[in-house]
């Protein structure tokens, strides 16, 4: 909602959304390809400023007919028998899932690959392809539009901080 409000207020503002790994986003901001990045880890990088944006959590998003849709909260173990819509490995949410699976020593993940969070959420809401592990804000947006269920995860790894990364303006003006 913040981006939409900003775009309405500043009608000549041009915005492009680029999804990538934390390293790819830091590189895009460092080189000027992007003015601001949203990442899940602070990295000491000369010429960049990292600020805490907010804490968020990973949740499952499920089609209204999914067997877990009746539950408000589940453990990861409860979701493992079902297909999970998998995201690219460089996605911050997917990293959380992979690490949790390693901790649970899960041998196999029944999955279908989606290119990004938005496509995965769309698949989960409009098809019966499986559960989507996504950010709570993405799940809330899709659950409002579609007949879908948000299932909270009862695991300590579900919470994480998001940070903004921008170029240090003082350093940039010294270079120019």
Cα(42)–Cα(28) distance, rounded to whole angstroms?
15
The shares of helix, strand and coil residues in the chain, as percent rounded to the nearest 5, are: 40, 25, 35
Who has greater pLDDT, 43 or 103? 43
> Per-residue pLDDT tens for 22-56?
888 899 999 988 888 888 777 888 999 999 888 88
DSSP 85: E
The CA dihedral of 54, 55, 57, 61, to the nearest 10 degrees, is -10
| pLDDT exceeds 90 at position 94 | no
Instruction: Quote the pLDDT of residue 153.
Output: 94
| pLDDT exceeds 90 at position 173 | no
Cα(152)–Cα(78) distance, rounded to whole angstroms?
12
């Amino acid at each position: 909602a913040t981006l939409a409000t900003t775009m309405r207020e500043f009608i000549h503002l041009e915005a492009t959304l680029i999804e990538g790994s934390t390293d790819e986003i830091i590189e895009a901001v460092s080189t000027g390809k992007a003015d601001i990045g949203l990442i899940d880890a602070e990295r000491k990088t000369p010429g960049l400023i990292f600020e805490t944006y907010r804490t968020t959590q990973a949740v499952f998003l499920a089609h209204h007919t999914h067997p877990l849709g009746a539950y408000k909260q589940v453990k990861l173990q409860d979701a493992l028998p079902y297909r999970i819509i998998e995201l690219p490995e460089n996605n911050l949410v997917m990293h959380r899932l992979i690490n949790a699976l390693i901790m649970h020593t899960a041998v196999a993940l029944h999955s279908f690959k989606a290119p990004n969070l938005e496509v995965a959420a769309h698949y989960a809401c409009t098809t019966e392809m499986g559960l989507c592990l996504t950010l709570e804000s993405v799940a809330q947006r899709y659950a409002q539009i579609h007949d879908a269920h948000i299932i909270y995860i009862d695991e300590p790894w579900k919470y994480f901080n998001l940070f903004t990364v921008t170029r240090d303006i003082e350093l940039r003006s010294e270079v120019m």
